[in-house]
Amino acid sequence: MSDFSSYKFGTRAIHAGAEPDPSTGAVMTPIFQTSTFVQEYPGKHKGYAYARGKNPTREALQKNIAALENGKHCLCFSSGMGAVDAVIKLLRPNDEVITGDDLYGGSYRMFTKVFANYGIKFHFVDMTKASNIEKYINSNTKLIWAETPTNPTMQIIDIEACAKIAKQHKLILAVDNTFASPYLQNPLSLGADIVMHSVTKYLGGHSDVIMGALITNDDKLHEQLAFIHNSCGATPGPMDSFLVMRGIKTLHLRMERHCFNGKKIADYLKSHPKIEKVYYPGFPEHPNHNIAKKQMRDFGGMISIVLKDKSIDTTFKVASSFKVFSLAESLGGVESLINHPATMTHASIPKEEREKAGVVDNLLRLSVGVEDVEDLLEDLKQALG
Ligand X SMILES: *Cc1c(COP(=O)(O)O)cnc(C)c1O
Cβ atoms of residues 219 and 291 within 8 Å: no
Q: Is 105 in the site for ligand X (CB under 6 A)?
A: no
Catalytic center residues: 52, 104, 176, 201
Which residue's CB is nearer to ligand X, number 198 or number 217?
Answer: 198
Q: How far is the CB of 212 from ligand X (least distance, A)?
A: 5
- Kindly state whether residue 377 participates in binding ligand X, applying the rule CB under 6 A: no
Burial of 42 (0-12, 13-18, 19+ CB in 10 A): exposed
Question: Which residue, 4 or 105, is less far from ligand X as judged by CB?
Answer: 105
| CB of 144 closer than 8 Å to CB of 132 | no
Q: How many residues bind ligand X (CB under 6 A)?
A: 16
Measured at CB, which residue is nearest to ligand X?
Answer: 80
Q: From the list 56, 80, 238, 341, which residue makes contact with ligand X (rule: CB under 6 A)?
A: 80
Question: With CB under 6 A as the contact rule, which of the stretches 63-71, 103-111, 184-192, 222-230 interacts with ligand X?
Answer: 103-111
CA distances from 43 to 32, 47, 49, 62, 226 (A): 20, 10, 8, 24, 20
Minimum Å gap between C-beta 331 and ligand X is 6
Residue 74 or 373 with smaller CB distance to ligand X: 74
Using CB under 6 A, which of 29, 79, 181, 217 touches ligand X? 79
**Of residues 373, 299, 363, the one with CA closest to residue 336:** 373
Query: Candidates 36-44, 100-108, 181-189, 222-230 — which segment interacts with ligand X by CB under 6 A?
Result: 100-108
Quick one: 193 or 240, whose CB is closer to ligand X? 240
User: Which residue, 275 or 292, has its beta carbon nearer to ligand X?
Assistant: 292
For ligand X, the binding residue among 100, 149, 152, 212 (CB under 6 A) is 212
Applying CB under 6 A, among 29, 55, 128, 198 the residue interacting with ligand X is 198
Q: Give 121 or 201: the residue with its C-beta nearer to ligand X.
A: 201
Q: How far is the CB of 79 from ligand X (least distance, A)?
A: 3
Q: Cα separation of 182 and 64, whole Å?
A: 11
How many residues are present in the chain? Answer: 385
Tell which positions 119-148 bind ligand X, by CB under 6 A: 147
Q: What DSSP string runs through 97-166?
A: EEEESS--HHHHHIIIIIGGGGT-EEEEE-TTSHHHHHTT--TTEEEEEEESS-TTT-----HHHHHHHH
What residue type is 119 in one-letter code?
G
Shortest Å distance, C-beta 311 to ligand X: 27
Listed in sequence order, the DSSP H helices in the chain are 9-15, 56-68, 80-88, 105-109, 130-134, 159-168, 181-184, 219-232, 238-248, 251-270, 289-295, 312-319, 351-356, 373-384
Q: Which stretch binds ligand X (CB under 6 A): 39-47, 94-102, 172-180, 281-289?
A: 172-180
The rounded distance, in Å, linking the Cα atoms of 77 and 83 is 6
151 binds ligand X (CB under 6 A): yes
Whether 300 and 260 have beta carbons less than 8 Å apart is answered as no
**Interaction of residue 104 with ligand X, rule CB under 6 A:** yes
**Of 103 and 318, which has the nearer Cβ to ligand X?**
103
Q: How far is the CB of 69 from ligand X (least distance, A)?
A: 15
Collapse the DSSP code of 213 into the 3-class scheme (helix H, G, I; strand E, B; otherwise coil) and give the result. strand
Strands ordered across the beta sheet of 337-339? 275-279, 302-307, 363-367, 337-339, 326-327
Interface with ligand X, residue 258, by CB under 6 A:
no
Binding site for ligand X (CB under 6 A): 79-81, 104, 106-107, 147, 151, 176, 178-179, 198, 200-201, 210, 212
